[in-house]
Structure 1
Amino acid sequence: MRKIFISLLLILSFYANAQQPYELNSGWLCLNMKEVNTDGFRLSKTDFPLNNWMPATIPGTVLTTLLNNKKIPDPFYGMNNEKIPDIYKTGNDYYTYWFVKDFEEKALGNEQVWLQFRGINYKAEIYLNGKKVNPKTLEGMHLRSQYNITKLLSSTGKNRIAVIVFPPDFPGNANGGQGGDGTIAKGLTTQYTAGWDWIQPIRDRNTGIWDKVTIEKTKNIKIQNPHVITLVPGKRLPDAKQQPATIKVSVEVENPTGQPISGILQYEIAGKLVKKNVTLSAIHSEVNLPDLALENPKLWWPNGYGKQYLYPLNIKFISANQVLDQENLNVGIRQIDNIWNEETKSMGAYVNGQKIFIKGGNWIISDAMLRFSDARYDAEVRYHKDMNLNLIRIWGGAILERPEFYNACDKYGLLVFQDFWFSGDCNGRWVDPMKKDDQWTRRNYPDNHPLVLTAIEDQIKMIRNHASLAFWCGGNEITPPEDILEPLKNEILPRLDGTRILFDFSNSDKMSYNTIGGNGDGPYGIQDPKSFWSTRTFPYNSEVGSVGVGDYESLEKFIPKENLIAPQFKSKTDSVWDYHKYIGYDEHINPYGKAKDAKDFAMKAQLVNYDQYRALMEGFSSHMWEWYTGSIIWKTQNPWTALRGQMYDYYLDPNACLYGLRKGSEPLHIMMNPLDSMVTVVNNGFTDRNNLMVQAKVYDMQGKEYFYSQVFNAIGASSVRRFFPLNDFLKKLDKKEGVFVSLKILNEKQSVLSENIYWLAGKDGEYKGLQELKPAPLKITASQKNKGKIEVLLSNEMGHPVAFFNRIALIDSKTGKRILPAFYGDNYISILPGESKTVSVEYNGSQSDLAIEVYGWNVERKKVMIN
């Protein structure tokens, strides 16, 4: 028994994990540099008193810390942002802060201790226990840094770190231009913080220790920056038996001991172990491990095309029966290729050999003040999945997104189009009277090109293993300077990645050849829905979009009560609405009846929202492979409380944009062409769909049904098929007050595979029928299916009119406030006479005392308790 016990101890010792990294994310204190009368050497000693220092939010910005300590008002509410001093006027010292943190740590035996910063904006000096940590000033927002602090740790285990953080050297004048006067781009920082047409300036320009600070302990070897490549040759189908895929793994290994170390470097995936005997004599080495041919792999697919299978992959370095270090990551096995489409004159995206019609959304950043969390990332990316999108583009005026964002995209199947840090506005594409410097000067921003190249290498290593990362892009609407673009394209990416295409810039001819003149991207305002079907635009449009005002409950969160008035067409917009970047709706709302108040306005705005984004994606999909290989909506989220370009608001409350887009983006979708009323079906799948019943019905405003046609037919894989027009039928109905058109696809079992309801205006373009629509006494029940999931049943009896455009909301039954985020199987839905619909509602499962609220165009607001 004793021998068995000793053997067990040896096994446990052999497989003992190196300590997992932990975050230094609490207990920080801070003080403005002008109030600190000492240097970092003295400040970083544990006996230096920290009386009257302020609790600091780390990771976070100075502005976040000031907000959390109630030193400033919420800059996202009303006009509060105007009450906060802007760095351009105060000078940089006003937002220059010392950050101090006491922590316990010591190194035993052959342990090595590493201090890691994942992002500081903009410059920093770092001290530990009275010693300087960084020999050279840390500079640049978009850059990780790591320091071996083993010899600087206190023998008692009690340590203090002190960091002084300086704002960007050139914060820029927030003069109302895109990126202010443009000089924010002289440094390697977030350009949007100087203001844009969708955001007001961030007053501290995101100064601070804005990303994670971690301590990692290893033995005398450190594994870092693993690189995993998956090769999936041929044309594959989801859920089929697969031919082998090739896994290629390499790692960087740090040996700080000064002595050669021999051991086994290995990785394990899907129960397969791959090993290599190595001797590491250099301080820094890169090791390639043998390739693995993985039999019958489970593949990773974009949303709407298949499952997102992720394999855990573990890398270890073992020497003398000790695990000296290890890395764990999740790997999606997939291959992304790009093939030029001669018909559309644009690039086509292929995953695992199958062509993917890109339905994407543009993303700025999760939060303008960099208050990131795993939960928020997960919710935001899930909303994009719920929209039936398959791609998110990260806009170039912000950041390379964090690994936690990419984790969510890996999980939900969102391909990522990642821009680097350049924009046409700040970096000189146009003559701009708001900019301080001329085009040629701005064209050479940032000032420090070697720093940019260093940051590019680092950030590529940080995110390159994610299955969701699909495309690199030099910049938004402009290329980087030539001495950055050329090494990026010809040396850095081939060396550090080699598997993903680089588009020089976001509307490059190599991505989408512009045959129509102009910039090619856009439009950005409200359009006649017919235009999305009739007007040909950029064949792979990186920015096309419209509006996005939330409903009344959303507006209440950031617009003061006295400003909650309905904006009127051609009259001066209220100052708060204007400050939050409102785009006028009125001429599009007035056909539904002039808005009586802000609540009425918000409800009618949702009709415009839904119609806009459904039509946008239907129009692009109707010309799939003929005009377009994809489109990317500008934009699908807001990092602050703006009144434009969002499918859900800053508080994660969805509006009708999301559900109109969800409808128009269905993988199998039935729709009606507004130009000629042609009933059309789009199939985004990889297989033919046979034995489909295509059904059309029309309902008048009294709820009377007019059956038109149903046909049995098929539609090929990844194709569009036009079935029959409704024009003659609609003319016979003499739709003087407007009608509802109901379209459905059913299978042989009469199950509905896709349905769509349009509301058509009368002959004069007005929705008088809707304005006079009689109430529908909708029956609503709600039941708890399991923790975190509720089902809502809505029923409309025969003899009633259509129960039109119903908003479902999960609320706190006591306060009436919405539970956010919540995820709905559908929303803003209409229930036809004699029909019922079940809608699922999912939430995080921790709340109690919940209820469901439902209201609609002609349905009285109701609170329904949950059974």
Structure 2
Amino acid sequence: MKSKLLIVLGGLLVLCSRPLTAQQLYELSDGWKCAPVSSVKESGAVISGTAYALNSWQTAVVPGTVLTTQLLHKQVPDPFYGMNNQLIPDIHNTGRDYYTYWFVKDVEEAYPAAGQQVWLQLRGVNYGCDVYYNSHKLNRVTHKGMFLRQEYNITQWMQKNGHNRLAVIVYPPDETGNANGGQGGDGTIAKNVSHQYVAGWDWIQPIRDRNTGIWDKVFIKKTGGVVVRHPHIITEVPGVRIPTGVQQPAIIKVSAELQNTTAATLTGTLQYVLDGHKISEQVILAPGATKQVQLPRLVLDNPRLWWPNNYGSQPLYTLPLQFVVNGKGVSDADSVSFGIREIQTSWNTTTGSKEIAVNGQKVFIKGGNWIISDAMLRFSPERYDAEVRYHRDMNLNLIRVWGGALTERPEFYNACDKYGMLVMQDFWTSGDCNGKWVDPLKKEDQWTRRKYPDDHPLFIVSAADQIKMIRNHPSLAIWCGGNEITLAEDIHHALKDSLMPMLDGTRWFVDYSNSDSMSYNRLGGNGDGPYGLQDIKTFWGTQTWPFNSEVGSVGVGDYESLQRFIPAANLKAPVYKADGSAIVDSVWDYHKYIGYDSSVEAYGKVMDAADFARKAQLVNYNQYRGLIEGFSSHQWEWYSGVIIWKTQNPWTAMRGQMYDYYLDPNACLFGLRNAGEPLHIMFNPMDSMVMLCNNTFTAQRDVMMVAKLYDKAGKETFITQVFTEAPANRARRYFGVGEALVKAAKKDGAFLSLQLLDKQQQVISDNLYWLPGADGKYTMLQQLPVASLTTQCRRVRAGEVEVTLQNAANGAVAFFNRISLLDASSKQRILPAFYSDNYVSVLPGQQKTITISYTGAISNLAVMVTGWNSKETFNTIANEK
């Protein structure tokens, strides 16, 4: 298998992993035209000639899909709003030709000088395509595969007058799948080497064109006779390190593939300079030869190490790699960004699961499952940055890219590198489509589905290509064969036994997402879940799988979020009956609402949709704070990690999200942020013990734990305060508060305030619990007096606002205040915006300061504060002078 695989991979031309300078590499993103194949009678050779008129063709979105182009021209309604998606023709009913399109781009590029080579690169087409350039077909056979990049040498076809034309006919997936309501529809979408969610899932409606189009970037690249491909940087960090201080050396290993595109033997040097060190290797390339070249290793003194979020900083290096042909200068160059770190894994015999270490230090994994940034593949560096930043702000340290979607783009990994998010990257299978379970909605039986996709060699070469594309990112920590199922046997062994050792032998490859090799599931079941509301005590007291790859809960946004995609007539709160059944509006149901059951009613009778969404945020905050606290309380005892299902939505769904599709955060995000902070004080509802969780590599000494109770009037009852220490990288129990709680909360409930102070009496961790009465209802919250809360706002600098909330003494707790940064003119929220905290409560006589960051030049700013028991305030902010 390995020898055949090497032959296949050796003949595959794919592009480099990092951009070159603007002169050497540029993107073809503007000026595209398109037309449905049904309206075009001419051949590709004719269409790609510059004389062919495109007057009747419409502007196309590239990168994009047929549907994004139709949306641009208002030929279809926004499929993310209301029930609009039902109005768009589904490819299963229309046939593939309906969404088969020509895409054409005129390219102004000077005729190449002697010895210069010009390359066309397509980073992603879904699903098949034929490519023409200046009346010449570039691919001998139709290209197929959503994840297989393409590169063509177009030098000989360039026009001497500099006017060139590229034409690409894009075919939809071979199997479009019947979107019949199943996970992945009828399952046949998985017969392709592509993403599966487009046929529908329990968190999304089907994408009608199945994302047919040139969905990723298109480049022109210029080189000399020798081309540098697939640079690979391996960093080794021996020993156990700490994030600060002088570091012992690290080892840098660099290799690359060189191709001689000429008919002459060429001699030259592959080289780079890093931190003043020049590393090089002399190379002789025979005519037409391709050679893998390993440069001498570099021992780098006092390296700046890369660490996961909350454990250290994330410095990045830039490595400029060149091939210089003797006597002819630089033939090709690539600039690779990387971080110096080493990922290790070992088996924890106590938990019965793998544990992950970085630079010799074990890291307790607090992760989130990621589907895709946008269901219609409208990607941008800015959106990637915002979404990954939100995950950083949740105090998570890992993102798992789910197998029913795609290999994420390099821009996603750039953001993860920047914010310290480790990544677990699945390949493109799921147990739902690929035959793990009996499913009456599937077209074919389990034995047949187990063999999906139809083209196994295509899957293997695509996997090799994607590994090369992203393997230099320090954030990439784990490769995963598939979601909840192993790949077909030959694909699995190709990946495990050939591709990984050959292309990326430094990372852990787990065969599937809930495998016993990741987490020994001695409790039985599938090794993940559950996926709905749970009693908070369950997270603390019921042992689940030791490295749970999927466990989650609700995630409805607030009322402003719901208004963005639900028509006014459908903004009706769910009604829960005594028997547990519910009446749910059709639009809510279409957008995959997941039940809150009686949890919202515990805060009082729901009056309308706005009231429902307001109370739902209390449930959201409690659920996700409880989840992370519960798992963290048993770290290295029961658990080595947990990954939430899920933290974001690429569509306007109403479940499993910490922020909505429009990048507006809800209370889930801040519940996670609170619970996941590096040093955290918390309350165990199982035994009423107060605990400290230290998720750093350094023990914290002489910190003070303070516990107090507050009633509805704001009266304080002191419980205790004590100096203590928090051992590094573990959770520990300290003292009980049960007797005081029973007495205070018995009737209507109470507030429990836990704070951790440093030697300067500054608050390190601040955690306020609202506890129900003996009947499980939060009667106290319904009886809170109005708090005297004042707000002060100021612009700190461009892109940053500071908000200070001050609560008067001798009054009630100012509870659960939602802070929103607004455009003062429209009174609409500015999105995205990044809050140092939100849904904050302020104790009597205390204040809290929140920092808000945003992007863009917005002159008229305002801050709105909406609290549970304080008056809504609208605060304008003075413009910059």
Normalising to structure 1: TM-score of the pair? Answer: 0.98
Q: Return 5+ residue gaps in structure 2 as ranges.
A: 1-19
Is residue 273 of structure 1 aligned with residue 273 of structure 2? no
Identity score, percent: 60
Deviation at 1:321, TM superposition (A): 5.2
Residue in structure 2 matching 1:30, options 24, 28, 34: 34
Q: Output aligned runs, 1:586-605, within 5 Å.
A: 586-605=597-616
Distance 2:177 2:835 in 1: 42
Residue in structure 2 matching 1:74, options 65, 74, 78: 78
Residue equivalent to 1:3:
none
Instruction: Report the secondary structure of 1:381's partner residue.
Output: helix
Residue equivalent to 1:498:
505
Instruction: Report the secondary structure of 1:327's partner residue.
Output: strand
Residue equivalent to 2:765:
754
User: Letter of the aligned partner of 1:508 in structure 2?
Assistant: S
Distance 2:668 2:488 in 1: 37
User: Letter of the aligned partner of 1:317 in structure 2?
Assistant: F
CA offsets per residue over residues 200-246 of structure 1, 9 Å max, x none?
00000010000000001111111111000000010000012111100
Deviation at 1:375, TM superposition (A): 0.1
Deviation at 1:284, TM superposition (A): 1.5
C-alpha contact (below 8 Å) 2:745/2:771 kept by paired residues: no
Change (3 A) 1:18 1:709: closer
Change (3 A) 1:589 1:495: same
Moved more, 320-329 or 629-638: 320-329
Residue equivalent to 2:313:
307
Instruction: Report the secondary structure of 2:442's partner residue.
Output: coil
Deviation at 1:713, TM superposition (A): 0.9
Distance 2:42 2:136 in 1: 14
Is residue 662 of structure 1 aligned with residue 668 of structure 2? no
Deviation at 1:426, TM superposition (A): 0.3
Distance 1:316 1:819 in 2: 44
Residue in structure 2 matching 1:355, options 351, 362, 376: 362
Residue in structure 2 matching 1:816, options 806, 827, 836: 827
Q: Output aligned runs, 1:287-326, within 5 Å.
A: 287-319=293-325, 320=327, 322-326=329-333
Deviation at 1:20, TM superposition (A): 2.9
Distance 1:323 1:523 in 2: 56
Distance 1:469 1:766 in 2: 45
C-alpha contact (below 8 Å) 1:125/1:164 kept by paired residues: yes
Is residue 652 of structure 1 aligned with residue 663 of structure 2? yes
Q: Output aligned runs, 1:45-124, within 5 Å.
A: 45-105=49-109, 106-124=111-129
Q: Output aligned runs, 1:120-519, within 5 Å.
A: 120-281=125-286, 282-319=288-325, 320=327, 322-519=329-526
User: Letter of the aligned partner of 2:249 in structure 1?
Assistant: P
Distance 1:730 1:171 in 2: 58
Deviation at 1:732, TM superposition (A): 3.2
CA offsets per residue over residues 583-633 of structure 1, 9 Å max, x none?
111410001012101110010000000000000000000000000000000
CA offsets per residue over residues 366-398 of structure 1, 9 Å max, x none?
000000000000000000000000000000011
CA offsets per residue over residues 78-129 of structure 1, 9 Å max, x none?
0000000000000000000001111111211211100000000000001111
Distance 1:492 1:544 in 2: 31
Q: Return 5+ residue gaps in structure 1 as ranges.
A: 1-15
Residue equivalent to 1:700:
711
Instruction: Report the secondary structure of 1:164's partner residue.
Output: strand
Distance 1:584 1:633 in 2: 18
User: Letter of the aligned partner of 2:166 in structure 1?
Assistant: I
C-alpha contact (below 8 Å) 2:860/2:877 kept by paired residues: no
Residue equivalent to 2:543:
536
Deviation at 1:846, TM superposition (A): 1.5
Deviation at 1:273, TM superposition (A): 1.1
Distance 1:370 1:46 in 2: 30
Is residue 633 of structure 1 aligned with residue 644 of structure 2? yes
Deviation at 1:278, TM superposition (A): 1.0
Normalising to structure 2: TM-score of the pair? Answer: 0.96
Deviation at 1:430, TM superposition (A): 0.4
Distance 1:601 1:488 in 2: 48
Deviation at 1:18, TM superposition (A): 8.6
Distance 2:51 2:527 in 1: 62
C-alpha contact (below 8 Å) 1:18/1:323 kept by paired residues: no
Deviation at 1:17, TM superposition (A): 6.8
Deviation at 1:263, TM superposition (A): 1.1
C-alpha contact (below 8 Å) 2:745/2:772 kept by paired residues: no
Distance 1:669 1:585 in 2: 28
C-alpha contact (below 8 Å) 1:810/1:822 kept by paired residues: yes
Instruction: Report the secondary structure of 1:587's partner residue.
Output: coil
Distance 1:756 1:378 in 2: 29
User: Letter of the aligned partner of 1:651 in structure 2?
Assistant: Y
Deviation at 1:710, TM superposition (A): 0.5
User: Letter of the aligned partner of 1:243 in structure 2?
Assistant: Q
Deviation at 1:571, TM superposition (A): 3.1
Distance 1:505 1:572 in 2: 38
C-alpha contact (below 8 Å) 1:567/1:586 kept by paired residues: no
Is residue 790 of structure 1 aligned with residue 794 of structure 2? no
Residue equivalent to 1:6:
none
Residue equivalent to 1:4:
none
C-alpha contact (below 8 Å) 1:693/1:745 kept by paired residues: yes
User: Letter of the aligned partner of 2:307 in structure 1?
Assistant: W
Residue equivalent to 2:17:
none
Instruction: Report the secondary structure of 1:810's partner residue.
Output: strand
Distance 1:73 1:733 in 2: 55
C-alpha contact (below 8 Å) 2:556/2:655 kept by paired residues: yes
C-alpha contact (below 8 Å) 1:258/1:283 kept by paired residues: no
RMSD: 1.0
User: Letter of the aligned partner of 1:700 in structure 2?
Assistant: D
Residue equivalent to 1:563:
570
Distance 2:749 2:302 in 1: 55
Distance 2:345 2:354 in 1: 6
C-alpha contact (below 8 Å) 1:512/1:541 kept by paired residues: yes
Residue equivalent to 1:865:
876
C-alpha contact (below 8 Å) 2:29/2:218 kept by paired residues: yes
C-alpha contact (below 8 Å) 1:422/1:475 kept by paired residues: yes
Moved more, 625-634 or 579-588: 579-588
Deviating beyond 6 angstroms after TM superposition, the runs of 4 or more aligned structure 1 residues are: none
Distance 2:562 2:24 in 1: 43
Residue equivalent to 1:5:
none
C-alpha contact (below 8 Å) 2:306/2:314 kept by paired residues: yes
Distance 2:743 2:186 in 1: 59
Distance 1:260 1:657 in 2: 62
Aligned positions, number: 852
C-alpha contact (below 8 Å) 2:232/2:256 kept by paired residues: yes
